[in-house]
Chain A
Amino acid sequence: MSRSRKDPRTERATHRVEGSIRPRFDLAAAPAATGRPRRDRRAEERLALVPGTVRRRLDRTQRVAAVGALPAPTTPAVETPPRLRTIPEPACLVAVVPDAPGGRLTPHDRQLFGAARLLADANGGAVLALVESWSDELAIAGADRVLPIPASGYDPEAKALALLSVLDGLAVRHVLFPESADGGDLARRLAALSGEALFAGAESLSAKAVTRAAQGRRIEQRRAPPRLISLATDAVAPHAGTLHEALPVEFAFPEPTAGAILSAEYIPADPAKVSLAEADFVTSAGNGVTDFEVFRALVAALGATPGASRMVCDAGLMPRAAQVGASGTVLEARCYFALGIAGAPQHLQGVARCEHVVAVNTDLHAAMIERAGLAIVADAQEVMPALLRLIAEEKRG
């Protein structure tokens, strides 16, 4: 036996309460560390006990500070502002053409700036953002210079011609595009106009090499970063740490000419028809929902795409195509509204990329309640008609 033997006398002596003539022992107190490699499960449980609940509840992750636990040493939290980095004399420019729908950068656009910073820092250059309008997000994203591109309506050919003049007029070493619907289109137009090779859909990027998949993802192509690169999503981390100047740059663009597009009209997605993977707002039913007529009416009233948990799809109450989770669809939605779903790990995987989660469930300790930004401990069957009533009232006036 390698374990040292227990010495009951010294163990008892550690529990002795000093300050009285008669020997007193407090056996309930957690003894100080004796150096013995044994865990005191009762003391650990006392520390993990969450105070103030009627039901006995243990929080072993220790996210809630337990009573009796030592208070953490209080250090005043100092919010240090990010350091401003200026590049007065850049050796070259790395241009970024973000999608920025409505003037706001998407996560993909931020990753693009991260990639541009990587290339610019390796060459002593500066990042030039080619956007439709200046915004203060650009300085945080990592743009040193900002050049507003004249744009009116949807005319990608005119935008590509404007970019071509920038490519010729300024010392631009690389131009980065997002490999999205509009960004990818613009990159290919510029490649055809300028005659430069486009590295389409780069999946990894460093200052020395970029790679992309080809031949149906059987071959990886690799080369030194060329002038035009379009970057796949989630390939490079967004820039963080330093703040940049985002100085406006002057540039004389050529006069745009009328293109072949006579009219363009944006049609928002129809939530009832859109597939779950592309949906923006998903309302999902779980085992806590029994009245599916009311659920469907609520989904239509909210303008959401219907989803369901595995339990509901297995029972045949919703189509299999509506299943959310690891064995169903992994959502990319902005908001997920879970009705009567406890949140199995497989289901939460499907919701992992959703920005906002709203949950209604009867169990306070359900994983979905913990995940949600707004959690309501109530019966979904009673909340659904109340929501429908409220929406109808608001519509009436």
Chain B
Amino acid sequence: MRIAVLLSAGRHRVSAHPAPVPVELQAIRLAAELGGEAFGLHAGPAIGPLHDTLGHGLPRLTHLRLAENDDPAPSLADALREGAFDLVLAGRSGQGGEDAGLLPYALARTLGLPIVADAVALAEGPQPGTLRVEQALPRGARRRLVIRLPALVTVHPAAPAPLPFAFAAARRGDVETRPGIAAACAPSEMEERPYRPRPKLIAKAAGGASAAERLKAATESASGGGKLLVEPTPDNAARAILAHLREIGVLA
């Protein structure tokens, strides 16, 4: 199976130095554990710290050289079409750029591939040419999908941690550099300014309620005026607890 892993020029979460994006390193691990040939693919001005990805279990990396501020999508689409990959893995979203997570969807649309989001585990499917994907859902739930290949799959941060860095593997790894397709980015209407954290909503009472109600909601407990049992026998207490848990629906 030929697997392409899309690698983006990320920045470290805290220091903002150029660094590989953690979720893409996790994608490399998923590709390595699935077996088959894995290829890294990066389109951008320089490879920089992405050389480290070779130490995390990626045997070879193709760098499509672009000018600063060029759109990577046409170069990546061209390389993916040419490579005839069975599976394309990408991170959920980049870190340090636009961080919108739109590029995998745009690529899937251009290549006509089906896309599945938020994979945490990959395995061979029941029939040849299929893949079993475990998808992360909120609150720790999972969805197991069987999809037909070729496909594009994005990886969720809840996937297994990246393989540890091996210096010898990073030295041994193969980097091929070739020119990409120059394509200017579409002009953006965005106005940019330094980030300012905004207060999150906390009040339970909505805007329509009176000031007194909003104050009450902010200071009092959520389920105020609950039931109180003072010194019941342990059996009575147990019965009350189970009945209450069933009533609110957490216990079957």
A contact residues vs B (CB 8 Å cutoff):
82, 111, 114, 154, 157, 180-182, 184-185, 188-189, 191-193, 198, 200-201, 203-204, 211, 213-224, 234-242, 259-270, 273-275, 278-281, 302-303, 332, 334-335, 337, 354-358, 360, 364, 369-378, 382-383, 385-387, 389-391, 394
Pair B232/A241 contact, Cβ less than 8 Å: no
Q: Which residues of B contact A239 (CB under 8 A)?
A: 206
Residues of A within 8 A of B242 (CB): 387, 390-391, 394
Contact A281 B11 (CB under 8 A): no
A274 and B158 alpha carbons, distance in the complex (Å)? 11
On chain A, the residues within 8 Å of B232 by CB distance are: 376, 378
**Are the C-beta atoms of A375 and B114 separated by less than 8 Å?**
no
- Report whether B207 and A240 are in contact in the complex, using a CB–CB cutoff of 8 Å: yes
Which residues of chain B from 173 to 198 have a CB within 8 Å of any chain A CB? Answer: 189-196, 198
Asked if B215 is at the interface of the complex by the 8 Å CB criterion, the answer is no
Complex A-B: 21 CB contacts under 8 Å: A198-B102, A214-B100, A218-B195, A219-B194, A220-B194, A222-B191, A240-B205, A241-B206, A242-B208, A262-B130, A264-B143, A302-B251, A356-B223, A357-B221, A358-B241, A374-B227, A375-B226, A378-B232, A378-B237, A383-B234, A389-B235
- Contact between A390 and B235 (Cβ–Cβ < 8 Å)? yes
Report the bound CA distance from A282 to B189 in whole Å. Answer: 46
Is the beta-carbon distance between B145 and A374 smaller than 8 angstroms? Answer: no
Map CB proximity to A onto B232-250 as digits: 1 under 8 Å, 0 otherwise: 1011011111101100101
Known: A218-B194, A223-B189, A240-B205; 18 extra A-B contacts, CB below 8 A, are: A181-B118, A185-B118, A188-B101, A188-B117, A198-B102, A200-B102, A213-B195, A216-B12, A220-B194, A220-B195, A262-B146, A263-B146, A267-B141, A332-B139, A355-B223, A357-B222, A370-B221, A389-B238
CA distance A264 to B147 in the complex (A): 9
- Check if A221 sits within 8 Å of B192, measured CB to CB: yes
Q: Are B101 and A219 in contact (CB under 8 A)?
A: no
Residues in chain B near residue A114, CB distance under 8 A: 206
Q: B residues within 8 A CB of A265?
A: 143-145
Contacts of B108 in A (CB 8 A): 192
Knowing A215-B99, A274-B139, A386-B234, say if A374 contacts B207 (CB, 8 Å).
no
Q: Shortest CB–CB separation between residue A261 and chain B, in angstroms?
A: 6
A216 and B16: CB pair below 8 A? yes
Do A262 and B148 contact each other (CB < 8 Å), given the known contacts A191-B102, A383-B234? yes
Cα A335 to Cα B191 with chains together (Å): 42
User: Number of A-B pairs whose CB atoms are under 8 Å?
Assistant: 242
Interchain residue pairs A-B with the least CB separation, the first 6: A241-B208, A240-B206, A260-B114, A274-B140, A269-B140, A240-B208
Bitwise, B144-183 to A at CB < 8 A (1) or not (0) is 1111100100000000000000000000000000000000
Given A383-B241, A387-B241, do A214 and B99 touch, yes or no (CB 8 Å)? yes
Residues of B within 8 A of A373 (CB): 223, 226-227, 244, 248
A160 to B176, CA, bound (A): 38
- B221 in complex: contacting residue of A82, A260, A371, CB < 8 Å: A371
